Structure 1
Amino acid sequence: MSVHPVRATDVAPPALPALVAAKPVRRNRLFVPLEPVSATTRWVLGLGFFVLFVAVWAGFTLGGYVSPTFLASPVTMVREAWLLFVEYGFIHDIGMTVWRVFGGFVLAAVLAVPLGIAMGAYKGVEAFFEPFVSFCRYLPASAFIPLLILWAGIGETQKLLVIFIGCFFQLVLMVAVTVGSTRRDLVEAAYTLGAGSRGVIARVMIPGAAPGIAETLRLVLGWAWTYVIVAELIGSSSGIGHMITDSQALLNTGQIIFGIIVIGIIGLISDFAFKWLNRRLFAWSVL
C-alpha cells in the first residue's frame, strides 16, 4: 500500500467565520461632508441665523451693554425706518441707488463680456490686453472719484463711472478665464467635424462657458453694491449712501443700520433673481 504525500493544495482551507453585518452608524445629515440638505432645511437654517443675530443684537442694546450713541437697538431702528419712509422720502433714495447699481453694472457687462470672450478665445488678444487689465484690476474704484468729479461733475455720470470701473476689469479677466478653460477635446472634435474658428467660438466655447459667465455676472453684481455706496458718499444729494452720510453727521445709528440692511436685502433679492434666471437658462448645468 503506497502512501501519497499530502500536498498543501489538497487540504481544504478552514471555514471563514461568518461576517457579522456592521450596525450602521447613524449620523446627523447636517454634519456629513457634502451631504445635501432639503430646501426646507436650508431655509430654516438660514432664517434661524438671522433670528439669532437679531436676538443677540437686542440683548446687548436693550440690556444696556452698548450705548445707543454707538449702536441703536432693533426697536429704535424700526422707528427710524418708519420716519425715513414717511417723512424723508427714503423710497426715492432706494430707487436712485438701484438705478445707479444696475446702470453701471449693465454698462460694464455689455463691454466686458465680449472683450473677455475674445481674450479667452484668442491668445494674441489676451497677450495684448491682459497686462493692462490686470494692472487696472488692482486700482481701487474709489481712487478715481476725484478725477471723475473733475471730468464728469457730481451728477449721475460720475456715479455710473465709479461702478463701471469697479466692475469692468474684474469681469473681463473672470470671463476670459472661464472661456479659456474650455475643454480642448471638444474644440478638436469641432475642428474634426469641419467647424471653423468662428464656429468653434459660437458653437463650443460660448455655450460651454455661458453658465460660468452668468455666475461671474452674479458675483460681480454683488461688488457693484459696494461701489455705489462709495460713489454716493461724496457729492451726492440722493441715494442710500447719501442718507447714511447725513445720519452719521447726526449720530443717528438707527438710520445708518437700516440703510445698510436695505442694501443687504436688495442685494439678496437680486442674487436670488440671478440664481433663478441662471437655472432657467442653463438647466443642464449645475451652478
Structure 2
Amino acid sequence: MTAAEAMPRQDIERAPAAEGPAPRRTRTTRPLTRSVSARTAWLLRCLSILVPLAAWQAVSASGRVDPAFLPSPSAVWAAGLDMAAGGELAADLAASLGRIAAGFGLAVLISVPLGFAMGTLGWAQPLLEPAVGILRYLPASAFIPLLIIWLGIGEASKVALLVLGVVFFNTLMTADAVRQVPRRLLEVSATLGASRPRVAARVVFPYALPGIIDAMRVNAAAAWNFVVVAELVAATSGLGYRITRAQRFLQTDRIFAILVVIGLIGLAIDVALRLLRARVGRWAR
C-alpha cells in the first residue's frame, strides 16, 4: 500500500498542493480621466468663480492695496451699474460686437474654405501651407500702422486687424480637423461609387464640422483680444476705447467692470459654440 493510500481522506484534502507559486493577483488600473456627477460638476464650476472672487474681496478688504489700483468687487459692480445706467456700456458693447461679427465672420468665411481645400486636395496643402505658416507668425498688432496708412482710422482698419489675427490660425486648424477624417470612410464611399464632390459634401464636411467649430471656439477668444487692441488706437467707441478713457482718469473700477463684461460675453459665445458642436456633431463625442 502506498503512502498516499495510507493517509486518511481528510488529511489528503487538507494537504497543500505541491505545485508552482500561486498566481499573482492582478491590480486593476484606474483610468486617467474619470467623469464626475452632474451635481459635482456644477459645484466645481461655482467654486471656480466664487473662490477667486472671495480672494479678491479679502485682498481689497485687508487695506494692503490702494483701492485706486485694486478696487473691491462691490466698487466694480457699482461702476458697471453706473455705466449701464448712462447708456455708454450698451453703446460700446454694441460697437465691439459689431466689429467682432464683421471681422471674425469674414475670417471664418475665408479660412474654412481654405482649410477645407488644404485638408482634401493634394495640391492645395503644398501650395498654401508655407505662406499661411509664415504669415501666422507675424504679429497682427504690428500691422496697425500699415492698416491705418492703407485704410485710415475708420472701421475698415479695425475689421482688417481682426481678420489678420484670426484667419491664418483658423485656416490651419480647419485643415487639421479635415485631415482627421478616417481613411476607411473615404474608401467605403469610393467603393460605393460616390463622386469626389459628393464625398466632400456628405462625408468629409459633416465629420470634420465638430473640429471646425472647436477651432472657431479657440479663435473667438483671439478675436476679442484683437478688437480691444484695435479700439485702443484711434477709436471713438467700443470697450477698448472705454478702457483707454478710464485709464486716463485712473478709474480702475470701470476698467475692471469692462473686463468682467468682456469675460462674460466671451463665455456666452463659447457656450453657444459648444452647444452648436454638441448638436451638429453627436457622432464625434
For normalisation by structure 1, the TM-score amounts to: 0.87
Moved more, 32-41 or 165-174: 32-41
2:88 is aligned with 1:99: no
For residue 114 of structure 2, what is the aligned residue in structure 1? 115
2:89 is aligned with 1:90: yes
Q: Please tell me the residue identity of whatever aligns with 1:256.
A: I
| Superposed counterparts of 1:11-160, under 5 Å | 14=16, 33-87=32-86, 89-160=88-159
| Superposed counterparts of 1:182-193, under 5 Å | 182-193=181-192
For normalisation by structure 2, the TM-score amounts to: 0.87
For residue 259 of structure 2, what is the aligned residue in structure 1? 260
Alignment partners' CA distance in 2, 1:214 and 1:75: 37
Moved more, 34-43 or 106-115: 34-43
Q: List alignment gaps of at least 5 residues for structure 1.
A: 23-30
Query: CA RMSD of the aligned region, Å?
Result: 2.5
For residue 220 of structure 2, what is the aligned residue in structure 1? 221
For residue 244 of structure 1, what is the aligned residue in structure 2? 243
For residue 201 of structure 2, what is the aligned residue in structure 1? 202
Q: Please tell me the residue identity of whatever aligns with 2:183.
A: R
Residues 1:221 and 1:150: Cα distance change in structure 2 (over 3 Å): same
Alignment partners' CA distance in 1, 2:85 and 2:219: 33
Q: Please tell me the residue identity of whatever aligns with 1:155.
A: G
Q: Please tell me the residue identity of whatever aligns with 1:143.
A: A
Instruction: Provide the secondary structure at the position in 2 that maps to 1:262.
Output: helix
Residue 218 of structure 1: how far off its partner (Å) = 1.6
Q: Please tell me the residue identity of whatever aligns with 1:80.
A: A
Q: Please tell me the residue identity of whatever aligns with 2:38.
A: A
Alignment partners' CA distance in 1, 2:192 and 2:200: 14
CA deviations on 1:156-175 (whole Å, 9 max, x unpaired) are 11111111111101111111
Q: Please tell me the residue identity of whatever aligns with 1:141.
A: A
Q: Please tell me the residue identity of whatever aligns with 1:57.
A: W
Moved more, 41-50 or 220-229: 41-50
Moved more, 173-182 or 265-274: 173-182
Residue 39 of structure 1: how far off its partner (Å) = 2.6
Residues 1:188 and 1:14: Cα distance change in structure 2 (over 3 Å): same
Alignment partners' CA distance in 2, 1:42 and 1:136: 40
Alignment partners' CA distance in 1, 2:39 and 2:99: 35
Residue 88 of structure 1: how far off its partner (Å) = 5.5
CA deviations on 1:186-243 (whole Å, 9 max, x unpaired) are 2222222222322332222212211111111122112111111111110111111001
Ranges of 4+ aligned residues in structure 1 off by more than 3 Å: 11-16
Alignment partners' CA distance in 1, 2:117 and 2:126: 11
Instruction: Provide the secondary structure at the position in 1 that maps to 2:123.
Output: helix
CA deviations on 1:81-107 (whole Å, 9 max, x unpaired) are 122122362110011111111211111
Q: Please tell me the residue identity of whatever aligns with 1:219.
A: V
Alignment partners' CA distance in 1, 2:282 and 2:118: 27
For residue 163 of structure 1, what is the aligned residue in structure 2? 162
Residue 109 of structure 1: how far off its partner (Å) = 0.6
Moved more, 158-167 or 176-185: 176-185
Q: List alignment gaps of at least 5 residues for structure 2.
A: 6-11
Residues 1:185 and 1:88: Cα distance change in structure 2 (over 3 Å): closer
Alignment partners' CA distance in 2, 1:201 and 1:49: 42
Alignment partners' CA distance in 1, 2:256 and 2:184: 52
Alignment partners' CA distance in 2, 1:284 and 1:177: 18
For residue 8 of structure 2, what is the aligned residue in structure 1? none
Alignment partners' CA distance in 1, 2:38 and 2:122: 43
Residue 284 of structure 1: how far off its partner (Å) = 2.3
For residue 234 of structure 1, what is the aligned residue in structure 2? 233
